[in-house]
Amino acid sequence: MASYQGVPAGPLSAYLGVREANRAGSLADLQMALKVQEAQAARQQDPLNMQLKQAQITDIQQRPEDRRLQMANTLELGRGRLQQQANQLEMTNQFNQSRIGAIKDEAERKKAADEWQRIYQQGQLDVQRGQLEIKQKLAEMKAIPGNEPLKAPELLHYIDKDGNHPAPGTTLNDVIQKGFKLASTQEVNMLLAGRGAESTVNQLDKYVLSIWGKEGEEKITEGMRRRLISGASLAIDRAQQSNPDLNAYEAFGQGTLAPLIRAIGEKGALAEGDIQRGINLIPKTGNKIGELPDTSVVARQKMKQLREWFNNALGKTANTPGNEGWSDEKEKRYQELLRRRGGS
């Protein structure tokens, strides 16, 4: 073993050599640690370097393909949540159907059923529209194919500037290319209400014709005494159920038409007075205490005004059958308008 700085070889020289080596190693470690600390301090004191690194990270995060993937994933999560919402709605529907069926009073049961049906339909439309909106966005991103024909309930949610729906067989790519608008839930509600209103008023017209008679063959004429006699006759028919149209009309008017008027009024954000006015336009048969039946002339006038009420509430601008100056050409335009608006 070599001597250590003039110290003769031996145990002392060996000890001193090992100690110096350890000191040198410790010094090297310390110097290395200092260099690391200095480098870290330099990076912390170099905001430009940090900004550049952050910009690189941001650039990576915002690359178009990454943004597209992130959006697609978000939309898929949204579609999953909508499916959960749809499942929950169906479970609630089953529960409410059972609850409503247990209501003993027929009028209360009908009222509860109508109320829940409106809520249930609203929920279904919300889910359908949400699912379709996600589907359209995915198709626009080319994340899913958009060349499959839309289903009938999906077509209902699309309208063009003239209020027309896409034709059967139309695909998502078609509606995107042709500029069809994805209708709001309220707009779809009004379209559905328009169909129900037109069908309901047409049915009501048939009952009114049967009970009050057609023009020139009035069954209930003016005058207190005549109306009293007609009211008594209708009361007997009602008690004996000898006039099926009378019983069907009264159930139809109060059980179907009145809730429809109220529902359309609420969808169209009409004032309570406007809604009540629509309900008061249902021709009266004198089935309430202290009430006399309307005359045939009044009943027909009310039906004309009732159609106008629906037209105004649903935003229709055409005249209605029975107005002065009504012609075959106006009838054609009216029917075309009904078709566009979703009427029968």
Residue 230: pLDDT band with limits 50, 70, 90: very high
Token pair belonging to 101: 């069926």
**Interatomic CA distance for residues 204 and 250, integer angstroms:** 10
**What is the phi/psi pair of residue 158, to 5°?**
-110, 135
- Give one word for 286, left, alpha or beta, with left for phi > 0 and alpha for psi -120 to 50: left
Most confident of 75-84, 157-166, 212-221: 212-221
The predicted pLDDT at position 53 comes to 54
Q: What is the pTM of this model?
A: 0.48
- Cα angle 95, 97, 103 (rounded to 5 degrees) comes to 110
**Number of neighbouring beta carbons within 10 Å of residue 116:** 16
- Give one word for 142, left, alpha or beta, with left for phi > 0 and alpha for psi -120 to 50: left
Q: Comparing C-alpha atoms, which of 222, 231, 342 is closest to residue 285?
A: 231
pLDDT digits (tens, 9 = 90+) for 58-97: 554 556 666 777 777 888 788 888 888 889 889 999 998 9
Crossing angle (nearest 10°) for helices 185-212 and 258-267: 150
Distance between first and last Cα of the chain: 113
